[in-house]
Amino acid sequence: MKARAVDIRRILVIEDEKRSQRLLRANLEPLGYLVECIERGEDAVPFLSQLHPDLVLLDLMLPGQSGFDTLDRIRELSDVPVIIISARDQIDDKVRGLYAGADDYLVKPYALEELLARIDVVARRRRPQGSPDAVNAGPIRIFRDHPEVTVNEHPVELSGHEYGVIRHLADHLDRVVVADALLTAVWGPSYRGDYGILHVTISRIRKKLGDPARRFLVTRPGVGYMLITRVPTERPTD
């Protein structure tokens, strides 16, 4: 069986049919994916904030809020990849879904290999050109295909939120990430403005990673944070 796409680990399934949920779990979890299933579109936003999925598999025919309305809500808050999986095979539905922000549209019934191929395509499309599986900031190495960070090749244990912060900074290497953008990416939009929790998390990361984090994880007061590839060399003064 084909291994999972390395850039995609957590999958949120929005599907009200129990049988479809069971099949997706049974087929995807043995490949290394973490699968969470919900039945109603109204629950998508809270789960996006809590789970931080790498991919959403979205059915259109849901009870209550429709799949199209759910996609609109997702796109208001996140650019997470979304693959629509639906029995609706009309061209109008496919066009509407893609224009609304879906990354792909898969018609039921489908073969597992086709779904895996679509996931791989989405992962490659979303991956920056030449993006490595790990990013280096001095002696700090942040792995992108699994939640691991090392310092001088020694693993450092971080919590999920701590890894989320340093991974997001690694995805924007040598660029300042505004504090609210970092809070939204890691904790969800309801945490915008909660700078205390971000400050505490950054402090914990620096403590765990030691001196390299104090040099390579930079604070830009009043703006945000950045992870840099090298510490600037001070120029001699005349």
pLDDT at 195: 92
Q: What residue type is 66 in one-letter code?
A: S
Given strand 154-156, what is the order of strands in its sheet? 134-137, 140-143, 149-151, 154-156
User: What pLDDT score was predicted for residue 232?
Assistant: 62
Task: Report how far residue 142's alpha carbon sits from residue 134's, in angstroms, rounded to the nearest whole number.
Answer: 5
For the chain, what percent of residues have pLDDT higher than 90? Answer: 47
Q: Compare 22 and 181 and report the one with higher pLDDT.
A: 22
Q: How confident is the model at residue 151 (pLDDT cuts 50, 70, 90)?
A: very high
How far, CA to CA in Å, does 213 sit from each of 7, 34, 177, 206? Answer: 25, 30, 16, 5
Give the mean pLDDT of 88-108: 92
Q: What is the pLDDT of residues 30-59, one digit of tens each?
A: 887 889 999 999 999 888 877 788 899 999
Contacts of 207 (CB under 8 A, 6+ apart): none
Residue 8's pLDDT is: 80
d(Cα 130, Cα 122) in Å, to the nearest integer? 15
What pLDDT score was predicted for residue 59? Answer: 96
Whole-number pLDDT of residue 229: 86
pLDDT > 70? residue 126: no
pLDDT at 235: 39
> Which domains are present in the chain?
10-126 (3.40.50.2300), 134-227 (1.10.10.10)
Residue 91: predicted pLDDT: 93
The pLDDT of residue 236 is 37
* Cβ-Cβ contacts under 8 Å for 39 (sequence gap 6 or more): 14, 15, 16, 62, 63
Strands (E), the chain: 10-14, 34-38, 55-58, 82-86, 104-107, 134-137, 140-143, 149-151, 154-156, 177-178, 217-220, 224-227
Task: Say how many residues make up the chain.
Answer: 238
Residue 5 has phi, psi (to 5 degrees) of: -65, 125
Is the entire prediction scored with pTM above 0.75? Answer: no
pLDDT at 183: 87
Mean pLDDT along residues 79-89 = 92
Reported as a single tens digit per residue, the pLDDT across 197-206 is 999 999 999 9
pLDDT tens for 172-198 read 888 888 888 888 778 877 788 889 999
pLDDT: which is higher, 217 or 235: 217
Q: What is the pLDDT of the chain when averaged over all its residues?
A: 86
In the prediction, which pLDDT does 128 show?
55
The DSSP bridge pattern shows strands 10-14 and 104-107 to be: unpaired
**Predicted local distance difference test score (pLDDT) of residue 5:** 52
**Single-letter code of the amino acid located at 55:** L
